[in-house]
Structure 1
């Protein structure tokens, strides 16, 4: 492992409450992201070829220094689409699982195959009036390991490049007085144990208190908690949420999830 892998692994273990080596290595660790501004619109621009393409390898960084999904390499084949109570009949054979509130999970690869075969059309998936059709839970490319999933979830894929300092930005723009912490008190002492200053500052921006997380950065829910928009993934058989974050006033969420699928990713 590289020096930065060691630094990141230690920092992630602190955030998760135990070293990464103590987590189960038999399954696949993945990241899923919900964004209410694009989750529904994504369905209208689906490319069947991208939905069936194998996207393998370690997490990648498409550039930038902020916390934005555009930095990820998308893995649409293994992304999830969640269909609500009203859904086209053509989706029925593709459903992986349904939740207690009748939300159904369909994998991108299955939608892509159905589109290419002609058994499903984009018109059937496009929202019409008050009908609510599948919304996207984006999965970025990762290699299946917990370390790489946490890298993607925290936008540290190319660290030390691409790290941000949201606390400093709030001070420079006059939102916060110098020396005033914007971090959730629950995580202050944990973050103080991270030795690298740039990494510590970056991760502080992902552990803001609820007030500041409404406008920038993220609010860290902690180990095991799951935002409601990502609950359908947590409810899949054999799955468990490792860590999660919320953005804004509930407009976005990210979760690292242990899936019961082969560790090849």
Structure 2
């Protein structure tokens, strides 16, 4: 491991409340992201080939220093599609889980295969205002390790490049003075132990208090906390929530999940 892998691993352990080495190494760690502005629109431009493609390897960074999903390399085959009611008959046998609130989950690869086989058409996936049709829970490419899942979840894939300082931006834009902390007090002491100043400032932007997270950065729910959007994934046999974040006023969310599935490179 590189020095930066060591530095990141230590920082992630602080946020998760225990060293990464103490987490179960079996199964796969993955990130899922939800954004209510794009989750349905993504269906309109689906390429069946992308839905069945194996996207293996460590997390990638497509550039920038914003906390945006377009920096990730998407893994659509293993992304999840969730709906409150699934109308297309071709999707019925593909459903992986149905939760108590009648949300069902279909994996991207299964949708892609149905599209390629002609048993499902893109027209049948057109979203509506009530999310009765599947909406995307985007999964970025990672190598299956907890370290790499946390890299993607914190946008530190190319650290020390690509780091941001949201707290400083709020000061420069006149929202707060430099003496005011915008970080959730629950995470201040953990963040103070992060050894690199730039990394510490970057991670602080992912642990803002509930007020400031409405307009910038993210609100860290904490270890084991799952945003409601990811309930169908959390309900999968063998799944375990590692950590969750929320963005804005409920418009977006992200979760790191331990899944009972083969590691990257060995899935079918």
TM over 0.5: yes
- Give the alignment of 1:146-225 within 5 angstroms: 146-225=146-225
Compared CA separation, residues 130 and 243, structure 1 to 2 (3 A): closer
- Distance in 1 (alpha carbons) for counterparts of 2:150 and 2:71: 15
SS of the equivalent of 1:61 reads coil
Compared CA separation, residues 131 and 258, structure 1 to 2 (3 A): closer
Kept after mapping to 1: 8 A contact 2:86/2:134: no
| Structure 2 counterpart of 1:235 | 235
- Distance in 2 (alpha carbons) for counterparts of 1:78 and 1:10: 28
TM-score of the superposition, structure 2-length normalised? 0.97
Gaps of 5+ in 2: none
Are 2:55 and 1:55 aligned? yes
| Structure 2 counterpart of 1:122 | 122
Are 2:3 and 1:19 aligned? no
- Distance in 1 (alpha carbons) for counterparts of 2:227 and 2:251: 11
SS of the equivalent of 2:189 reads helix
- Distance in 2 (alpha carbons) for counterparts of 1:86 and 1:53: 24
| Structure 1 counterpart of 2:78 | 78
Number of paired residues?
265
Kept after mapping to 2: 8 A contact 1:160/1:199: yes
SS of the equivalent of 1:210 reads coil
Gaps of 5+ in 1: none
Range 3-12 or range 230-239, more displaced: 230-239
- Distance in 1 (alpha carbons) for counterparts of 2:49 and 2:113: 9
Once superposed, what is the RMSD of the aligned Cα atoms?
1.1
Kept after mapping to 2: 8 A contact 1:78/1:107: yes
After TM superposition, give the deviation of residue 130 of structure 1 in Å. 5.4
Kept after mapping to 2: 8 A contact 1:58/1:143: yes
After TM superposition, give the deviation of residue 27 of structure 1 in Å. 0.7
After TM superposition, give the deviation of residue 205 of structure 1 in Å. 0.2
SS of the equivalent of 1:199 reads helix
- Distance in 2 (alpha carbons) for counterparts of 1:246 and 1:129: 22
- Distance in 1 (alpha carbons) for counterparts of 2:61 and 2:87: 34
Kept after mapping to 1: 8 A contact 2:57/2:264: no
Per-residue Cα deviation, 1:35-94 (whole angstroms, up to 9, x for no partner): 000001111110001001110000000000010000000000000000212422211011
